[in-house]
Amino acid sequence: MIAAASLRVFLAVSLVAASLCPGAWASAWALDPSATRIEFSVRNLSVARVDGTFRLASGHVTLDDEDPSRSTIEAVIDAASVDTSEPKRDAHLRSADFLDVARYPTIAFRSTRIERADGGHWRVTGALTLLGRTRPVLLDVDSSTSEGTRGSAHATTTIDRRDFGITYAGFAVGKQVVLTIDAVGMNTAADASLE
């Protein structure tokens, strides 16, 4: 559940990073795993929230400013990197009860549609694969900045962990997982022509 949320957030951030280069017809961005932050939050026992992070393994964004529908975002998250600052809980989250990282070491996202919304917002629809199940997700990218060859973006989404087969703990763990992504990308090929 946490991984799925993280991946969606990552995708949104990727889109924002790509959109940071408004003057380029086509921009290629490599997401920086060391600077990108993927956070999740889920209710626990209906009273408290458990917050944590995932680490981005790799990602890239190609943005076509003239035709956003030709833009793409792909991201891979290291599922075993889940970190809630509680080692016993993290070990349980890595187990077959939740993320089953021994069988499914990564969480993957691939955009299927990118569109500009109002103001500086973007909507990114894509396919999130978690625990071998692929489901559609929608990312809301609400801010982005760029300076030189670096750009950043902020994105959010909410997923239902049950959509990916994460049903352990019944009602003790919330169904809705909120994902927040703060992505940082490096422009790798500005003003490139898309083929």
192 has a pLDDT exceeding 90: no
CA distances from 86 to 82, 93, 103, 174 (A): 10, 11, 23, 18
pLDDT tens for 52-96 read 999 999 999 988 878 888 889 999 999 999 999 999 999 999 999
Q: Where are the alpha helices (DSSP H) in the chain?
A: 2-18, 87-94
Residue 38 lies in a domain: yes
Sign of the C-alpha dihedral computed for residues 81, 78, 37 and 128 taken in this order: negative
pLDDT tens digits, residue range 9-24? 444 444 444 444 444 3
In a domain? residue 108? yes
Give the three-state DSSP class for 76. Answer: strand
Domain containing 139 — which CATH number?
2.40.128.110
Tell me, yes or no, whether 42 lies in a domain: yes
**In whole numbers, what is the pLDDT of the chain averaged over residues?**
84
pTM of the model: 0.81
Domain count, the chain: 1
| DSSP run (H or E) holding 92 | helix 87-94
Distance from C-alpha of 107 to C-alpha of 95, rounded to nearest angstrom? 15
Range of the domain at 12: 2-187
Instruction: Tell whether 73 is covered by a domain.
Output: yes
The answer to the question of residue 102 being in a domain is: yes
144: pLDDT strictly greater than 90? no
Q: Which of 190, 109, 106 is nearest to 155 (CA)?
A: 109
In a domain, 164, yes or no: yes
Tell me how long the chain is.
Answer: 195
